[in-house]
Copies of this chain bind each other. A is one copy, B any other.
């Protein structure tokens, strides 16, 4: 099926190989160090070769984003909080995952499977179609915003600046990021249940 490959070193690459390399660079250098030149180096290619596989960097980043948020084991459940937590886990699995996904999503270059799952769950909870969409978007915005913030702080802590809290306030001596995340999700889910009762 696949054409016979050359030596491992000189084999020609496909889109998937480029995305593989990009994710490796992302995990090691973060989004600030994710340059086209660095990706090309990881593949032993010239930068210009990347533009045969992708029209521009944003398109490559969108493909990376899709890899971050997809996965056959995606949680499809009636439990809204569980779907939200699974999305957060996927974002946390790669350095700056939330930031990369946030921008691809905002640019309209990414379809979020988790959003569809959230819409389904909200509908089954008793919401009409439009309201289920609003509920899903509200949860998605919270998950991405919270995790974005959490990951920045995480890296800042590694570099040696602020304490690794995901809280938005300067000083805070309370729960862990995971607890704060769960509490925020619970707040939104409670609002959804209220709307379902109306």
Interface residues in chain A, defined as those with a beta carbon under 8 Å from any beta carbon in chain B: 102-103, 105-108, 111-112, 115, 119, 130-131, 133-138, 140-142, 144-146, 148-149, 152-153, 156, 161-162, 167-170, 172, 174-175, 180, 183-184, 186-195
Q: Which of B119, B153, B183 contacts A131 (CB 8 A)?
A: B183
Partner of A169, one of B115, B169, B194: B115
Contact B106 A136 (CB under 8 A): no
Q: Provide the bound-state CA to CA distance between A149 and B141, in Å.
A: 9
Q: Specify which chain B residues have a CB less than 8 angstroms from the CB of A149 in the assembled complex.
A: 105-106, 141
Would you call the interface of chain A mostly helix, strand, loop, or mixed?
helix
Interface core residue of A115, A135, A137, A152 (most chain B CB under 10 Å): A137
Complex CA–CA separation, A111 to B138 (angstroms): 23
A102: which B residues are within 8 A, CB to CB?
145, 148
**In the complex, which residues of chain B have a beta carbon less than 8 angstroms from the beta carbon of A180?**
134, 137
Residue with the greatest number of chain B CB neighbours at <10 A, chosen from A135, A162, A187: A187
Whether A106 pairs with B141 at a CB distance below 8 angstroms is: no
A107-B156, A119-B169 given; name 6 further pairs at CB < 8 Å.
A106-B149, A137-B167, A141-B168, A141-B184, A190-B194, A193-B194
Q: Which residues of B contact A131 (CB under 8 A)?
A: 183
Residues from chain B with Cβ under 8 Å of A161 in the complex: 108
